[in-house]
Amino acid sequence: MFNFDFKNPTHIIFGKDRFGDLNHVVPANAKVMITYGGQSAVKNGLIDKVKNALGSRKIIEFGGIEPNPQYETIVKAVDKAKEESVDFLLAVGGGSVIDGTKFLAACMTADVKDYKELLQYGMMPVPFEVLKKPMDYGAVLTLAATGSEMNTGAVISVGHDKYPFMVMNNYPQFSLLDPTITFTVPEKQIANGIIDAFVHTAEQYMTFPAEGRIQDRWAEGIMQTLIEIGETCIKEPDNYDARANHMWAATMALNGIIAVGVPQDWATHMIGHELTGLFGIDHGQTLAIVYPGVLKSQKEAKMAKLVQYAERVWHITEGTDNEKADLAIGKTEEFFKSLGVSIKLSEYGVKEDQISDVVKQLEAHGMVALSETGKITLDVSEKILKSVF
Ligand code: NZQ
Ligand code: ZN
């Protein structure tokens, strides 16, 4: 196991009928900006519930943060928050709204001339000299998928380019996780959310053995849970326990706990981001397309963990290592398809000759040596994309 540090200060408020708790976790004298996305949070009455819970606090609203939040939109929110001297942010939404709010929190206090400077560090945290302490914020999660509700990462889009953005100490102060809020999430987004949580887990697990036995078993538990509840989440939108397990699995998949002391991959996410940026394919769908291709391409490097995954997650006990690995990859594909998600790039309206555009974007973003081994070069990414076309 590698050396590691672990600290996650986000207070999770989990369960139904917990809105009243917002009154205890938002500072009493705060001037709050509530941020949200399109209209779902307004239509579902969530914004009213949040406002009621905040009582007499001064409240400003900023709606319209789009899926794959755009830089320009967040800059408008920063201008408004500064103009109104807001001192606490409350995101009500899925990964896009929470990510946008995380970036907003950073822009509020960063020592930069142009907020775009904050997006130049990729997966490295923004240096302390540039950003000491983002503005405090909390979240009311409306869609289980990204884990943004309990981590410091965000992904911000500038036109067609998606920029990962990381700040140490940029955790939400709290996140309210009420599974009943997800009852209204469209089926497609539920499927995306299950796949996102699954692939987050897999990308921190399917690497090479590092004697992270606890981390491995946590990861296997998360993947098994998602496999067990996946179809129920789709077929029974108001099944509380299925949605509760999805929500908690998604949070645990990317709050740092399964990542400690073990190697990580992230090739699928980086390639997937380019598919979203260029073609507007949903984040979860890009992962369903790319991940099986990455596993097939990197089968030798990942063999030991693939066999462990086959045996422990899919209970495949017969056959050679190679056969077990192949069967487990096939089971993973079937699982994604069972959620109603297509795993072929061509089925999203992309033409084969556009794969070269994806490769150009990967190069432009420095994604030239991906995965835990760094062996997914541009040529390998191109082969992976062709294999899943
Ligand atoms: O905008 P509204 O009207 O709210 O509709 C949203 C949106 O259209 C809708 N929705 C959300 N909650 C709902 C609901 N509809 C009905 N009822 C509800 N309760 O769902 C749509 C998608 O929402 P979005 O927030 O975009 O989805 P998701 O949570 O999957 O977030 C995707 C974003 O997160 C980034 C992705 O790149 C993408 O930009 N990621 C962030 C990560 C992180 N911060 O750690 C890691 C991930 O790998 C990912 O990259
Ligand atoms: Zn993801």
Closest among 168, 153, 150, 176 to 9, alpha carbons compared: 150
Nearest atom in ligand 1 to the alpha carbon of residue 65 is 1
Q: Which helix (H) or strand (E) holds 34?
A: strand 31-36
Distance CA 123, CA 237 (A): 35
Q: Indicate which residue's Cα is closest to atom 14 of ligand 1.
A: 185
Q: How do the pLDDT tens digits run along the chain, 389 residues long?
A: 999 999 999 999 999 999 999 999 999 999 999 999 999 999 999 999 999 999 999 999 999 999 999 999 999 999 999 999 999 999 999 999 999 999 999 999 999 999 999 999 998 999 999 999 999 999 999 999 999 999 999 999 999 999 999 998 899 999 999 999 999 999 999 999 999 999 999 999 999 999 999 999 999 999 999 999 999 999 999 999 999 999 999 999 999 999 999 999 999 999 999 999 999 999 999 999 999 999 999 999 999 999 999 999 999 999 999 999 999 999 999 999 999 999 999 999 999 999 999 999 999 999 999 999 999 999 999 999 999 99
**What tokens were used for 213?**
């036995």
Is the C-beta atom of 181 inside 6 A of ligand 1?
A: yes
Helix, strand, coil % over all residues of the chain, rounded to 5: 50, 10, 35
State the CB neighbour count (10 A cutoff) for residue 320.
9
**CA atoms within 13 Å, Cβ hemisphere of 56:** 2
Closest among 280, 379, 256 to 67, alpha carbons compared: 280
Pocket test for ligand 1, best of 140, 142, 254 (most atoms within 8 A of CB): 142
Residues 6+ apart with CB under 8 A from 292: 329, 332, 333, 336, 343, 388
Q: Indicate which residue's Cα is closest to atom 50 of ligand 1.
A: 155
**Cα of 199 from ligand 2 centre, angstroms:** 7
DSSP-assigned letter for residue 346 = G
**Cα of 320 from ligand 2 centre, angstroms:** 32
